[in-house]
Amino acid sequence: MNLLAPVRLLSAGPGVFVAVLILAFPGVGMAEYSDAMKECMLQKMEVEGDDMTLGQLKDKCLSEQREDDSAKTDMDAEGVVKERLGVDDSNILRPFTLMAHRPNYLLVAAYNSSGYNPEPFREEFDDPSIELDDTETQFQLSVKFPLAVDLFDKKIDIFAAYTNRSFWQVYNNDRSSPFRDTNHEPEAWVQFRPDWKVAGFSNSANQLGIVHQSNGRGGDLSRSWNRIFANFLFERGNLALGIKPWYRIPEDSDDDDNPDITDFLGYGEIRTAYRWNKHTFGMMFRNVVESGFEKGTVELSWSFPLGSYPYFRGYVQFFNGYGQSLIDYNQHVNSIGIGLSLTDYL
């Protein structure tokens, strides 16, 4: 307030001037008002008539505050997907910044009760003595970056991403702790945000793209495939839902390392994530119906805060099914791991 404000308020009426003094100096008797309430009431005193009492001004400010809080609650209820997209928007053009794509995590110990299959390695290295540990370390690094944004009147963006998932036999001292498999997954997609409403859900974003996945190896250990995919993202409050169908791009039979991979990984997947009180619960399932409930896959995850430590979170992941790694895409895996999470879907 400038130096002439008291003169203007006094000319408006002595009641308003006294009220301003009371609010501006809480020692006079209004210390119970919050700073936000004082600011609101002072603003209203400058525009309301002299006949407004302090109680009426307070009620008016409280009413507006309740409306603001309600609007914020409605925004929160609209969705965690929009919140995540908002984080992307705030970082999208920052130099030297790579944004998280899929979850980034480290499973310090992941135990597979089904046991990992050593046969491909025995055949490739002609060594029948090769054995694999049932417990290993797994980690995933996944980043994305924009190729073009705000196209066609700010309705379309183009992204690229790279995801690395590694399976490390770190406890297998007999074999010098080798990497059992490392899967590389570069992809690119076009994204738009329609904000359609479907059955109580908001369709926050849709994507159409192409992805290559391989383990970068040769001989009998080589695995790879290429797909065109769509991804439809929905939200309702703290619940996020992703429906992702895909089509495998055909390969020449002489070059196809894994011609039956869709028998085990199917033609798409569904992911859900739910955030509750700083905890994030995730679920993925695929190939359940297509395989006649014989080769389906379910993945469950839970990331949780580690007290007040801000840099990473605890992480638990359960996997049952096929395709956890490309080297074992046709082998059943039943594993549970525990470790740390840097970023999650939400």
**Domain check: are 26 and 118 in the same one?**
no
B/e letters for 59-69, b = 16+ CB within 10 Å, e = fewer, are eebeeeeeeee
What pLDDT sits at residue 2? 45
181-194 average pLDDT score: 96
What pLDDT sits at residue 111? 98
The number of domains in the chain is 2
Give the tens place of pLDDT for each residue, 213-267: 999 998 889 999 999 999 999 999 999 999 999 999 999 988 899 999 999 999 9
- pLDDT category at 112 given cuts 50, 70, 90 is very high
Instruction: Compute CA 129 distance to the chain's CA centroid, rounded to the nearest angstrom.
Output: 42
**Domain check: are 215 and 328 in the same one?**
yes
What pLDDT sits at residue 291? 87
What pLDDT sits at residue 136? 98
What pLDDT sits at residue 39? 76
- Active-site positions read 212, 214
CATH of the domain at 280: 2.40.230.10
Instruction: Pick the range with the lowest mean pLDDT from 21-30, 104-113, 292-301.
Output: 21-30
**Domain check: are 70 and 84 in the same one?**
no
DSSP secondary structure letter of residue 249: P
By three-state DSSP, how is residue 180 classified?
A: strand
Task: Retrieve residue 96's tokens.
Answer: 């030297």
Domain end: 46, 75, 104, which one?
75
pTM score: 0.76
**Domain check: are 167 and 142 in the same one?**
yes
Asked whether the predicted pLDDT for residue 174 surpasses 70, the reply is yes
User: Which backbone phi and psi does 67 adopt, to 5 degrees?
Assistant: -65, -40
What pLDDT sits at residue 10? 40
**Domain check: are 86 and 64 in the same one?**
no
Task: Retrieve residue 74's tokens.
Answer: 């409605």
330-346 average pLDDT score: 96
Domain end: 75, 95, 120, which one?
75
What CA–CA distance (Å, rounded) separates 326 from 217? 11
Measured between its terminal Cα atoms, the distance across the chain in Å is: 43
**Domain check: are 166 and 255 in the same one?**
yes
Which domain does 103 fall in, by range? 80-343
- β-bridge mates for residue 272, sequence order: 241, 283
262's enclosing H/E stretch is helix 261-265
**Domain check: are 36 and 101 in the same one?**
no
What CA–CA distance (Å, rounded) separates 41 from 55? 10
Q: Which of 19, 17, 15 is nearest to 37 (CA)?
A: 19
Asked whether the predicted pLDDT for residue 51 surpasses 50, the reply is yes
46-54 average pLDDT score: 68
What CA–CA distance (Å, rounded) separates 340 from 265? 27
Q: Which of 301, 270, 262 is nearest to 286 (CA)?
A: 270
Asked whether the predicted pLDDT for residue 50 surpasses 70, the reply is no
Q: 235 Cβ partners below 8 Å, 6+ apart? A: 78, 79, 80, 81, 82, 201, 202, 204, 241
Task: Retrieve residue 171's tokens.
Answer: 């406890």
Asked whether the predicted pLDDT for residue 74 surpasses 80, the reply is no
What pLDDT sits at residue 225? 97
Instruction: Pick the range with the lowest mean pLDDT from 57-61, 151-155, 210-214, 335-339.
Output: 57-61
**Domain check: are 146 and 26 in the same one?**
no
What pLDDT sits at residue 32? 47
**Domain check: are 54 and 158 in the same one?**
no
**Domain check: are 64 and 88 in the same one?**
no
Give percent of the chain above pLDDT 90: 65
What pLDDT sits at residue 75? 41
Give the tens place of pLDDT for each residue, 267-286: 999 999 999 999 999 999 99
Domain end: 42, 75, 108, which one?
75
**Domain check: are 67 and 97 in the same one?**
no
What CA–CA distance (Å, rounded) separates 242 from 227? 17
Instruction: Pick the range with the lowest mean pLDDT from 61-75, 95-109, 257-271.
Output: 61-75
**Domain check: are 71 and 91 in the same one?**
no
